[in-house]
Amino acid sequence: MKAPEKKIKLKEVSLPAFPGHCDSLLKKHLTAEVWALLADNSTETGFTFQQAICSGLEQPDSSVGVYAGDEESYRLFAPLFRPIIEDYHGSLGPQPQTDFSLVALPAVTSEAQARVQSTRIRVGRNLANFPMGPAISRGQRLEVEGLICDALQNLPESHQGKYFSLSAMPKEQETDLVARHLLFKNEDRFMASGNLMRDWPEGRGLFLSRDESFSAWVNEEDQLRIIAMKRGGDVKAVFALLADGVAALSEKLDFSFSEEFGYLASCPSNLGTSMRASVHMTLPVIGQDEASLKQQADALGLQLRGVHGEHSASEDATYDISNQMRLGVTEVEAVTHLISGINHLAALDIEGKPKMVGDL
Ligand code: ADP
Ligand code: DAR
């Protein structure tokens, strides 16, 4: 009888190699010491360190490169996760109390308003006592979908609408909803490498309010994304719409939360408020030079994405501009950061004597 193969202790083999062009936070912080400490570790739910880092190894153009499979991942893999978290957010928490109060929000200047085509603010949530996307079982994912669909019955009249299961959604409808920025894409190689797309599209879906300004994504990268989106630059109205939806769902669902890192997410970039407040903004002058604009955005603590979200391209000097920092700030502070940033970018654009958006 063949002797059982000797299980190689990963920590005894050398650190995985990254290609030269890789500049992920995983590559930066996965030192030989961290590898020796964590290589063979796994959490109580059986989520391994290798599973946590596999996306960043398979997709060397990752920006972060790791995903958590459960709450324990943030404790057990802390020697790697904490430096990544501090590098991304510029903070290690603790997360302040949730604050959706409207009164403190500054105004969006008329110059910025003239350049903003649409505003979207979202938060991510995962249910307490369930593994997250990279580790959840098929049965648990369906249970999460059911719990969230029940909670969606609790929304105020202004937010009510319909849940569309992705499994039952006609392809034409899916294509239309993705094109209108209302539904997540059905392919993401980073999520696939992070085991977040197992059993796809089963257990995934979209809740959409009647006027399409409020929506919820179920079992995409996080178990719940709560989203408010409107045309134009009325950030305050979008923030209020989101706040009411979050409050209603929070009455019915128990979210995964820690004092230190706030709302826990599968990706460390979405901890804390787990809020990404974004505008589609056309910058006819300073938007012509994307590299220079990215430097200005970095300096303002803003992130640039393309007009179809992460890993997409800008179009006609129009960018998805959002807050980078989500942890160690309140929801009001995160949105204030965005408003101050876009007001500044609009002022810079004016210095270049731009045409207004309507004249483009
Ligand atoms: P997330 O914000 O959930 O991290 P993405 O960056 O992929 O994910 O964006 C998801 C979808 O939302 C994409 O279709 C993107 O174009 C759209 N989107 C993001 N911000 C805005 C905005 N301000 N206006 C319109 N659509 C937006
Ligand atoms: N694409 C992954 C995650 C980066 C942050 N965006 C998220 N979580 N959607 C990467 O490591 O690049």
Residue that the structure tokens 């034409």 belong to = 172
Whether 137 and 200 share a structural domain: yes
Alpha carbon distance, N-terminus to C-terminus of the chain: 76
- Is the pLDDT score of 58 beyond 80? yes
Q: Which atom of ligand 1 is nearest to the CA of 279?
A: 23
Which ligand gives the minimal distance to the CA of 305?
Answer: 1
**Quick check: 352 pLDDT over 80?**
no
132, part of any domain: yes
CATH number at residue 54: 1.10.135.10
In this structure, the strands spanning 116-125 and 214-218 are unpaired
Cα of 238 vs centre of ligand 2, distance in Å, is 24
CA dist 123 and 138 (Å) reads 24
Q: Which of 278, 318, 338 to mutate to test the pocket of ligand 1 (most atoms within 8 A of CB)?
A: 278
Q: Per the domain annotation, does 218 fall within a domain?
A: yes
> Same structural domain for residues 245 and 321?
yes
One domain, residues 78 and 116: no
Residues 116 and 59 in one domain: no
Residues 133 and 233 in one domain: yes
> Does 262 map to a domain?
yes
Instruction: Tell me, yes or no, whether 202 and 318 share the same domain.
Output: yes
List, for residues 215-245, the tens digit of each pLDDT value: 999 999 999 999 999 999 999 999 999 999 9
Our CA dihedral for 131, 137, 139, 145, rounded to 10 degrees, sits at 50
Is 4 a member of any domain?
A: no
Out of 27, 59, 62, 312, mutate this one to test ligand 2's pocket (max ligand atoms within 8 Å of CB): namely 62
CA of 217 to the centre of ligand 2 (A): 17
Cα 34 to averaged position of ligand 1 atoms, centre (Å): 34
Residue nearest to atom 21 of ligand 1 (CA): 120
The per-residue pLDDT for range 2-57, each reduced to its tens digit, is 666 666 778 777 888 898 889 999 999 999 999 999 999 999 999 999 999 999 99
Of the candidates 198, 231, 193, the one whose C-alpha atom is nearest the C-alpha of residue 213 is: 231
Q: What is the pLDDT of residues 324-348, one digit of tens each?
A: 999 999 999 999 999 999 999 999 9
What pLDDT shows up at residue 339? 98
**Same domain membership, residue 49 and residue 183:** no
- By the 8 A CB rule, do 240 and 103 touch? no
**Residues spanned by the domain of 170:** 110-352
**Long-range contacts of range 35-44, CB-CB < 8 Å, 24 or more positions apart?**
35/11, 36/11, 37/11, 37/79, 38/76, 38/77, 38/79, 38/80, 39/9, 39/10, 39/11, 40/9, 40/10, 40/11, 41/76, 41/77, 43/69, 43/70, 43/72, 43/73, 43/76, 44/70, 44/72
Chain-centre distance of CA 245, in angstroms?
18
Q: How far is the CA of 214 from the centre of ligand 1 (A)?
A: 13
Structural domain contains residue 101 = no
**Any domain includes 233:** yes
Same-domain check for residues 71 and 215: no
Look at residue 11 and tell me if it is in a domain.
no
**Domain end marker among 30, 57, 89:** 89
pLDDT tens per residue across span 74-120: 999 999 999 999 999 999 989 999 999 988 899 999 999 999 999 99
Q: Are residues 160 and 241 in the same domain?
A: yes
Pocket of ligand 1 (CB under 6 A): 118-120, 122, 181, 225, 229, 276, 278-280, 305, 307-310, 320
What gap in Å lies between CA 149 and CA 216, rounded to an integer? Answer: 10
Q: Model confidence over 121-165: pLDDT tens digits? A: 999 999 999 999 999 999 999 999 999 999 999 999 999 999 999
Q: State which of 89, 120, 136 marks the end of a domain.
A: 89
CATH number at residue 329: 3.30.590.10
Mutate to test the pocket of ligand 1, among 108, 113, 120, 214 (most ligand atoms within 8 A of CB): 120
8 Å CB contact between 263 and 271: yes
Q: Are residues 130 and 75 in the same domain?
A: no
Pocket probe mutation, ligand 2, options 28, 54, 267, 311, max atoms within 8 Å of Cβ: 267
Q: Is residue 96 part of a domain?
A: no
Q: How many domains does the chain have?
A: 2
pTM for this predicted structure: 0.95
For residues 143 and 194, state if they share a domain. yes
pLDDT for residue 355: 43
Reported confidence tier of residue 353, pLDDT bands at 50, 70, 90: very low
Q: Are residues 243 and 137 in the same domain?
A: yes
> How many A from CA of 321 to the centre of ligand 2?
16
